[in-house]
Structure 1
Amino acid sequence: MDLNTVTEVRDARERAPWQPGDCWLAGGTFLFSEPQPWIRRLVDLGRTGWQPVTHLPDGALEIAATCTLTQLSRYARTSTAPAAPLVEQCCRAFLASFKIWNLATVGGNLCNALPAGPMISLTAALDGRCLLRSQAGVLRRIPVTAFVTGAGENDLGEGELLRSVTLPARALRRRTAFRQASLSGLGRSGALLIGTLDPSDGTFTLTVTASTARPVRLCFPALPAAAGLRDALAGTVRDDDWFDDVHGLPAWRRHMTFRLAEEVRRELDELRQEPDGRDTRP
């Protein structure tokens, strides 16, 4: 779609005062999908040259905001990290054409803050922390779970930029279980749950997305019993937290969340009991 209100496109490498109507441009798959009448100038990040995926000295993984789905998927297929299969699962949850895969970015998915955003699911489940940069150059880091504040809402200030998301080394060593539900075979996620189990201390974490307006995380010192997980979910997610749109009614989303949560718990329980502790799933 043409953005007929745009009068200028500026290279993000050029320093210039931020103006009303300015908007960061990465992949542009959302910006050009529907009218954006408030935009007057696009600040293009396409030539920043940021490395898509960087392994840090401490073993952490830094994902640039401009990293595309294709680049992230390519990394996942070559990584030996225990959590690497989860990266590919979340990329596939995008259910987009190859054209979108080659343009859509991790940063764009987070900044759009749609409940069904699978990059939100991935980075929230693996303790992701966002690096934000203000127009004055001031940097701040916040967890992904705090960055996404609601459906289509985030914690970005005026002119602030999401530079990258960092996944800590410990999170990449966790065993994972992934579950997704949609009203149709190729439909947008109505519920997407990720469970992780830390092999070093047995910590279990369940991350709920798509069915709720913002990511919800439940942490346990050990894998809970079915009743304990169910009670924790019921006590954490309020009735008005369930998302409501054409892709699923709140009651259905709640039902699927409780059902998928138990499936995740059982899968990780079975994996935990493997004789050598290895993930034997294909």
Structure 2
Amino acid sequence: MDLNTVLETRDARRREPWRPGDAWLGGGTYLFSEPQPHIRRLVDLGRTGWEPLTRLPDGSLEIAATCTIAQLSRHGRKAPDRAAPLFEQCCRAFLASFKIWNMATVGGNLCNALPAGPMISLTAALDGSCLLLAQDGTTRRLPVADFVTGAGRKDLREGELLRSVTLPAAALARRTAFRQTSLYGLGRSAALIIGTLDPRDGSFCLTVTAATTRPFRLWFPLPPGAAELEGAVRSAVADDEWFDDIHGLPAWRRHMTLRLGEEIRRELTQDGTR
């Protein structure tokens, strides 16, 4: 779609004052998908030269905001980490066209803050932290689970930029289990649930996305029983925090979350009891 209100595009490497009507341009798959009448200038991140994925000395993984879904998918298929299969599983949850696959960015998916955003699911489940850059050069960090505050809402201040997301080495070493469902075979995710089990201390975490307006991470020092897990989900997610749109009613999303969460609990704990 043409953005006929845009009057100018500038390179993000040029330091110029932020002004009303500015918008960061990454892959552009959302910006050019619908009218954006408030935008007057696009600040293009395409030439920043940020390395898509960087393994840090402590074993953690830094994912640049401009990393595309295709680049992340390729990394996941060859990475040695125990949690590596989760990368491809979340990338495939897009059900995206070739164009989207190669243009959409990890940062754009997080900043759109849509409940069904699978990069939110991936990075929240693996304890991801966002590096945010302000216009004055100051930085701050936020857990992904706190960065996304609601459907389409995020903790991003005027002119602030999501630079990268870092996944700690400990999270990459965990066992993972993935479940996703939608109303249609090629439909948007109505529930995307990820479980992780830490081999060091036996702690268990269930991350609920797509079914809810924001990510919910439920951590247990030891794997919970079925009743404990269900009770924790019901207690953590208020009635008005189950997402409601054409892709699924709140009651159905809650039901599927509980069902898939129990499947994950059994898979990771090899527990067949209820």
Instruction: Give the TM-score, by structure 1 length.
Output: 0.95
Shift of 1:59: 0.2
Instruction: Tell me what 2:191 maps to.
Output: 191
Q: Distance in 2 between matches of 1:164 and 1:269?
A: 33
Give CA-to-partner distance per residue, 1:221-280, whole Å, 9 cap, x none. Answer: 111110110111111111111000011010110110000000000110129xxxxxxxxx
What RMSD, in angstroms, separates the aligned Cα atoms of the two structures?
0.7
Q: Distance in 2 between matches of 1:52 and 1:218?
A: 29
1:172 to 2:172 alignment: yes
Taking only the aligned residue pairs, the percentage that are identical comes to 75
Q: What letter corresponds to residue 45 of structure 2 in structure 1?
A: L
Q: What letter corresponds to residue 182 of structure 1 in structure 2?
A: S
Q: Distance in 2 between matches of 1:248 and 1:114?
A: 14
Give CA-to-partner distance per residue, 1:60-114, whole Å, 9 cap, x none. Answer: 0000000000000010011110000001100000110111010000000000000
Give CA-to-partner distance per residue, 1:4-54, whole Å, 9 cap, x none. Answer: 000000000001010100000000000000000000000000000000000
Q: Distance in 2 between matches of 1:137 and 1:208?
A: 34
Shift of 1:126: 0.2
1:145 to 2:125 alignment: no
Q: Distance in 2 between matches of 1:183 and 1:146?
A: 28
Instruction: Tell me what 2:106 maps to.
Output: 106
For 1:189, what is the secondary structure of its paired residue?
Answer: coil
Instruction: Tell me what 1:268 maps to.
Output: 268
Q: Distance in 2 between matches of 1:50 and 1:258?
A: 40
Q: Distance in 2 between matches of 1:156 and 1:133?
A: 10
1:254 to 2:247 alignment: no
For 1:52-67, what aligned pairs fall within 5 Å after superposition? 52-67=52-67
Give CA-to-partner distance per residue, 1:151-183, whole Å, 9 cap, x none. Answer: 000000000000000000000000000000100
Instruction: Tell me what 2:224 maps to.
Output: 224
For 1:176, what is the secondary structure of its paired residue?
Answer: strand
Q: Distance in 1 between matches of 2:34 and 2:155?
A: 23
For 1:1-282, what aligned pairs fall within 5 Å after superposition? 1-270=1-270
Q: What letter corresponds to residue 149 of structure 2 in structure 1?
A: T
Runs of 4+ aligned residues of structure 1 deviating over 4 Å after TM superposition are none
Q: Distance in 2 between matches of 1:155 and 1:225?
A: 34
Q: What letter corresponds to residue 122 of structure 2 in structure 1?
A: L
> Once structures 1 and 2 are overlaid, which stretch shifts more, 155-164 or 227-236?
227-236
Q: Distance in 2 between matches of 1:270 and 1:8?
A: 57
Q: Distance in 2 between matches of 1:181 and 1:68?
A: 24
Instruction: Tell me what 1:275 maps to.
Output: none
Q: Distance in 1 between matches of 2:72 and 2:236?
A: 32
Q: Distance in 1 between matches of 2:137 and 2:13?
A: 13
Equivalenced residues, count: 271
Q: Distance in 2 between matches of 1:200 and 1:11?
A: 45
Structure 2 unaligned residues grouped into runs of 5+: none
